[in-house]
Amino acid sequence: MPVLRLGSIVPDFASESTQGTIHFHEWIGDSWAVLFSHPGDFTPVCTTELGEVARLHPEFQKRKVKVIGLSVDDVSKHKKWIQDINEVAQTNLSFPIIGDASRAVASEYDMLDALDPTNRDAAGMPFTVRDVLVIDPQKILRLKISYPASTGRHFQEILRVIDSLQLGDKHKVTTPVNWQPGDKVIIHPSVSNEQADTLFPNYETVKPYLRYTKDPSV
């Protein structure tokens, strides 16, 4: 099984979805993307998650981020599940969900649970874990989080990380603990003090390696 590491280019694939055939790299285009996986349709925690992502879809669009789900069941079952999701969340799910009954995409993306006989479905196949992947326009993996089956994902946190990544790509900054958009940021260690004087006037030096400045996007 391949190991998908941060900084690597994500594998391309073609797969059926609730919105037709997806050629993944082509589908991403010049956007950011979030791919998030599920172990099966009509599961309680995942139903709430897909509803929340549908509700937050405009927030992802504001950041030029495309969203796509993946579940091991087939597309016809996904479409029936979407009806439940919309009813429960009082929303309108408009992004695609990939059908991955063979676990081909989950395997290529290192999303399968440990090869433990107790972690198999009724067909004897390993479960697809609940991953969130953030991918940039160069198709590079920037974030991967795996969640246990019992704990719903926090998609406001995913948006926060995307804000941090996009800010750091545009400016030579990183973000400190518990950062929220508008808070102070950290000047990247690669920036000399002389460069910082020009790029970030009135920055604050706490330690030689820790220099704060205001959020340059504000």
Q: Catalytic residues, which ones?
A: 46
- Residues 48 and 89: their CA atoms lie apart, in Å, by 7
Spell out where the chain has E strands: 14-17, 20-23, 32-38, 65-71, 97-99, 130-135, 141-147, 173-174, 185-187, 204-207, 210-213
Buried (b) or exposed (e) across 129-157, using 16+ Cβ within 10 A? bbbbbbbbeeeebbbbeebeeeeebebee
- Nearest Cα to Cα of residue 38 among 49, 30, 29: 49
Q: How far is CA 16 from the centre of its chain?
A: 20
- Residues 140 and 33: their CA atoms lie apart, in Å, by 10
**Given the structure tokens 């099984």, which residue do they identify?**
1
| CB distance 196 to 203 below 8 Å | yes
Q: How far is CA 108 from the centre of its chain?
A: 17
Rounded to 10 degrees, the C-alpha dihedral 54/59/60/61 comes to 100
